[in-house]
A and B are shown apart, each in its own frame.
Chain A
Amino acid sequence: MSNIKYILGSFGDPDEMMHGIEKLQENNIKIHDVYTPMPIHGIEAKLGVKRSRLDIAAFFFGITGTLTMLTGVYLATVVDWPINIGGKTHFALPDFIPITFELTILFCAFGLVGSYYASTHLFPGRAPRVMDLRATNDRFIIAIDAKANAEHEKIDELLKGAGALEVKYNERKYVSYE
C-alpha cells in the first residue's frame, strides 16, 4: 500500500465543492473535513455537524455576571459597609442596573469567546494544522482519509467530475509542519 495519507480535492468555487461533497456522499465515501477561506452556509447540515451549543453557554455566562454583580454590590453596600445616604435604602437597585448590565455583557462575551477558543482548540501559538496552504486564500478543500477509503481512482474521478481544479495526494497529514 502507498504512503498516501490524505486525498485533497481542491475546488475554485464553493458551489462546485458542495456538488463534490454530494457526489462523494452518494458513493459512501467518508469526508474527513472541509477547509474553506470563508463560511459556507448549509455545509454543516450536509456533513452532519451538530448545532452549536455556544448560545446556551453564553446565556449561563451572562447570568453568572448578573448574579456576581448583584451579590458583590449587596455585600459591599449592605453587609460590609452600609452608608446612610439621606435615609435611603442601602440596596438601591435602580442605581445598580447599569453596572449589573455591563458585567452581564462582560461575562457573557468572555465566557462565550473563551468556550469557542477552547472547543475549537484556538489559542496563541498553536501550531496550525493546515492540509493545503491555499485553503485560507482561494481554494475550497475537501479532505478524504486515504487509508479508510481505498478506491483512490474513483475518488479522483468523482472529485474531478464535480469540478475540482486539482486532486492532491498528501503523504503528510499537515503541510504546515516543518
Chain B
Amino acid sequence: MSGHNESILREPLITGKDITYAQITDDILLPVENKPNKAWWIGFILSLCGATLWVVAVSYTFWFGIGSWGLNKTVGWAWDITGFVWWVGIGHAGTLISAVLLLFRQNWRNSINRSAEAMTIFAVICAATYVVSHMGRPWLAYWVLPLPNQFGSLWVNFNSPLVWDMFAISTYFSVSLLFWYTGLLPDIATIRDRAVGMRKKVYTILSFGWTGSVKTWQRFEAVSLILAGISTPLVLSVHTIVSMDFATSVIPGWHTTIFPPYFVAGAIFSGFAMVLTLLLVARKVLGLENYITMFHIESMNKIIILTGSIVGVAYLTEFFIAWYSGSEYEQYAFINRSTGPYWWAYWMMMTCNVISPQLLWFKKIRTSIAATWILSIVVNIGMWFERFVIIVTSLHRDFLPSSWAMFYPTWVDVSVFVGSIGLFFTLFLLFLRVLPSIAIAEVKLLLKSASEQAKLELIKEGHLDKEQVQEYIESLEKFDSVKQEEYAKI
C-alpha cells in the first residue's frame, strides 16, 4: 500500500521538493493544456517536411511500382525490409517496458511506459507501411489475410513465415494499441475533468466514461497484469517470427538457428536506444526532469549494455559457427561480409553496436545526458546497418558468380526511409500535445514511497542506518534534478 516505506537504498523515482498529487497532474499536463512552445513547432515543422517526403515517395512507388527502387535480380530484398525490421525492432522497447517490467515489478517503468508504448505503436505503423508498399499492388494487400474468396477458395500459404509475420505484426499492433489505450483511460479522464467547452466534449468521448471507482480500478489492475502476461511472450514471438523470414530460407548467412534470440536482443537494444533518443529531448523540452530522472536514464543504459553485448556475442557466434560448420558457402558469406565490397557496412555495424556501447560501462558516460543521447543515436545507426548487412550481403553474391551484383538505392528508397522517420516524429510530437506523455495515475502511486521528498522525510526522522543513508546520499550525486546542497547539511 502507499503508506509503506521503501528501503532507503533504493534511488528515488520522483525528485524535487513539495511535489503533491496536484503538482504531478499540472506538470504532466502542461504541454497538453497549453499552447506549444517554439521548440515543439520547430520539431513539428521539420518532421512534417519528412512526413511529406514520405507521402511523395510512397505515392511514387504506388504509381510507378517497385521498379523505382534500387532492387535487381540478385538483390531482390534490400532497403525496404531493412527499414521494416529496423522499425519493428524499435517498437519492441515499448511493450518490454510496459509488460516485462510490470511483471518484474520494476517501478521505474511507471514514468516511461506511456511514451514508450506510443513509440511502439508509431514504429509499427512505419514498419507496416513498408509491408504494404513493397507489395507492388498495395490495393490487394488484403490478400495476405486468409479470407474466403472466389478463386475456388484458394488459401494463403500457412507454411510461409511471411504469413506468420502478417499474423504476428497485426496481433502485436492491435494488442499494443489495446494495452496503451486502456492504460490511458484514467489519464484522459483527468484531462476531461479539468477541461471546458469543446475540449471537454472530445475528451469525454475518449475517456469512455471513466470515473475511478473502486471496482473499475481493481478490474483495471487485473486487466493490466493479464495483458502484461500475454504481451511478454507476444513481444518475444514477434521478432522471433521476423527473424524466421530469413532463418527458414536456405540462403547462407540467413539459414541459422541463432536468429530468433539474436533478433530479439537486437530489437530490445535498438528500442531502448530510441526511447532514450526521444525521452532525453522530451524531458528537457517539456520540463519533466523530476519524473524521468537520472535513475531512469542509467537503468535504460544498463539494459543497452546488456542487450548490446548479447548482440555482440551473437555476431561472434555466427562467425565461429560459419567456420566450424565446414560449409564453404557459409564461410564465404561471412568472409565476404567482413572483407568484401560491403566491408564498411559490416564494420560500421560492429563499431556502433558492439564497441561503442561498451563505453556505457563507465558510470561517468552512463550518467551523462549528452553522451547517452549521442550513443543512443549511434546504436540506432548501427542497428540499421546490422539489418542491411544481414540482408544485402547475404544476397548480393549468390551461388552463381555470373549473377553477382551490388545494390544501389534510388532516391525513392532513401526518401521512403528518411520520410518514415519524419512520419514517426510527426506522430510522436502530436501525441505529446494531445495525450499525457507520462502515466499520471501510475506516477502518483510512487509519490508516497519512492519519491525524494518521502525519503528525505525518513532521513530527517533519523531512525535509519547511518551507512545506508550515506550510500543513498552518494547515489543522489549523479541526479541533475536534485538540489545537492539540501544534503550537504545532513
> Which residues of A are in contact with B by a Cβ distance under 8 Å?
12, 14-15, 18, 33-44, 47, 49, 52, 54-55, 58, 62, 72-73, 76-77, 80-81, 85, 92, 95-96, 98-99, 101-103, 105-106, 108-110, 112-113, 116-117, 119-131, 133-138, 176
B185 neighbours in A (Cβ, 8 Å): 122
Known pairs A36-B217, A37-B21, A136-B186; list 12 more (Cβ under 8 Å).
Answer: A14-B2, A37-B25, A39-B217, A40-B2, A47-B214, A98-B240, A102-B234, A108-B230, A120-B216, A120-B219, A128-B207, A138-B22
From residue 211 to 254 of chain B, which have CB atoms closer than 8 A to chain A?
211-223, 226-227, 230-231, 233-234, 237, 240-241, 244
In Å, the complex CA distance between A72 and B146 comes to 9
B159 & A95 in contact (Cβ 8 Å cutoff): yes
B205 & A124 in contact (Cβ 8 Å cutoff): yes
**Any A CB within 8 A of the CB of B171:** yes
B448 & A98 in contact (Cβ 8 Å cutoff): no
- The closest CB in chain A to the CB of B21 belongs to A138
**Any A CB within 8 A of the CB of B64:** no
Whether A98 touches B441, Cβ cut-off 8 Å, given contacts A14-B2, A137-B194, is no
In Å, the complex CA distance between A85 and B159 comes to 10
Report 27 cross-chain contacts, Cβ distance below 8 Å, ordered by A residue: A15-B2, A36-B212, A37-B186, A37-B444, A38-B444, A41-B2, A52-B218, A54-B222, A55-B222, A62-B230, A76-B146, A77-B158, A81-B153, A98-B237, A101-B237, A102-B237, A106-B175, A116-B182, A116-B219, A119-B219, A123-B209, A126-B209, A128-B211, A133-B193, A136-B210, A137-B194, A138-B20
A102 & B168 in contact (Cβ 8 Å cutoff): yes
B210 neighbours in A (Cβ, 8 Å): 122, 128, 136
A77 & B155 in contact (Cβ 8 Å cutoff): yes
- The closest CB in chain A to the CB of B212 belongs to A35
Give the Cβ gap from A174 to chain B, nearest Cβ, in Å: 9
A52 neighbours in B (Cβ, 8 Å): 218-219, 222
A127 & B209 in contact (Cβ 8 Å cutoff): yes
A103 neighbours in B (Cβ, 8 Å): 167, 171
Whether A80 touches B190, Cβ cut-off 8 Å, given contacts A35-B212, A120-B219, is no
Give the Cβ gap from B227 to chain A, nearest Cβ, in Å: 6
B158 & A99 in contact (Cβ 8 Å cutoff): yes
Q: Which 9 A-B pairs have the closest CB atoms?
A: A126-B209, A138-B21, A138-B22, A122-B208, A76-B155, A52-B222, A39-B217, A102-B167, A136-B190
Give the Cβ gap from A138 to chain B, nearest Cβ, in Å: 4
Whether A92 touches B159, Cβ cut-off 8 Å, given contacts A99-B167, A124-B206, is yes
Contact of B182 among A95, A98, A113 (CB under 8 A): A113
In Å, the complex CA distance between A44 and B3 comes to 16
A39 & B220 in contact (Cβ 8 Å cutoff): yes
In Å, the complex CA distance between A131 and B442 comes to 22
Whether A135 touches B175, Cβ cut-off 8 Å, given contacts A81-B154, A96-B158, A99-B164, is no
Contact of A35 among B155, B175, B211 (CB under 8 A): B211
In Å, the complex CA distance between A69 and B343 comes to 44
Give the Cβ gap from A119 to chain B, nearest Cβ, in Å: 7
In this complex, how many residues of chain B approach chain A with their Cβ under 8 Å: the count is 67
B216 & A102 in contact (Cβ 8 Å cutoff): no
- The closest CB in chain B to the CB of A80 belongs to B153
Contact of A44 among B2, B152, B212, B214 (CB under 8 A): B214
Task: Give how many A-B residue pairs fall within 8 Å (CB-CB).
Answer: 199
Contact of B441 among A35, A38, A47 (CB under 8 A): A38
Contact of A128 among B154, B209, B220, B231 (CB under 8 A): B209
In Å, the complex CA distance between A124 and B231 comes to 24
Give the Cβ gap from A163 to chain B, nearest Cβ, in Å: 13
Residue from B154, B222, B244 whose CB has the most chain A CB atoms within 10 Å: B222
A113 neighbours in B (Cβ, 8 Å): 178, 182, 223, 227
- The closest CB in chain B to the CB of A125 belongs to B205
Give the Cβ gap from B11 to chain A, nearest Cβ, in Å: 22
B190 & A102 in contact (Cβ 8 Å cutoff): no
In Å, the complex CA distance between A76 and B208 comes to 39
From residue 156 to 191 of chain B, which have CB atoms closer than 8 A to chain A?
158-159, 163-164, 167-168, 171, 174-175, 178-179, 182, 185-186, 189-190
A124 neighbours in B (Cβ, 8 Å): 205-206, 208
In Å, the complex CA distance between A49 and B217 comes to 11
Encode B423-448 as 1/0 by CB contact (under 8 A) with A: 00000000000000000111011001
Contact of B226 among A15, A44, A54, A98 (CB under 8 A): A54
B22 & A123 in contact (Cβ 8 Å cutoff): no
B215 neighbours in A (Cβ, 8 Å): 33, 44, 49, 120
In Å, the complex CA distance between A136 and B21 comes to 10
A81 & B152 in contact (Cβ 8 Å cutoff): yes
A39 & B208 in contact (Cβ 8 Å cutoff): no
A112 neighbours in B (Cβ, 8 Å): 223, 226-227
Give the Cβ gap from A19 to chain B, nearest Cβ, in Å: 10
B153 neighbours in A (Cβ, 8 Å): 80-81
Whether A39 touches B218, Cβ cut-off 8 Å, given contacts A73-B158, A128-B204, is yes
A135 & B212 in contact (Cβ 8 Å cutoff): yes
Give the Cβ gap from B335 to chain A, nearest Cβ, in Å: 33
A102 neighbours in B (Cβ, 8 Å): 164, 167-168, 171, 234, 237
Contact of A109 among B213, B218, B230 (CB under 8 A): B230
- The closest CB in chain A to the CB of B23 belongs to A138
Residue from B175, B192, B218 whose CB has the most chain A CB atoms within 10 Å: B218
Give the Cβ gap from B233 to chain A, nearest Cβ, in Å: 7
- The closest CB in chain A to the CB of B154 belongs to A81
In Å, the complex CA distance between A131 and B212 comes to 10
B171 & A106 in contact (Cβ 8 Å cutoff): yes
A54 neighbours in B (Cβ, 8 Å): 219, 222-223, 226
A135 neighbours in B (Cβ, 8 Å): 193, 211-212
B22 neighbours in A (Cβ, 8 Å): 137-138
**Any A CB within 8 A of the CB of B488:** no
- The closest CB in chain A to the CB of B244 belongs to A98
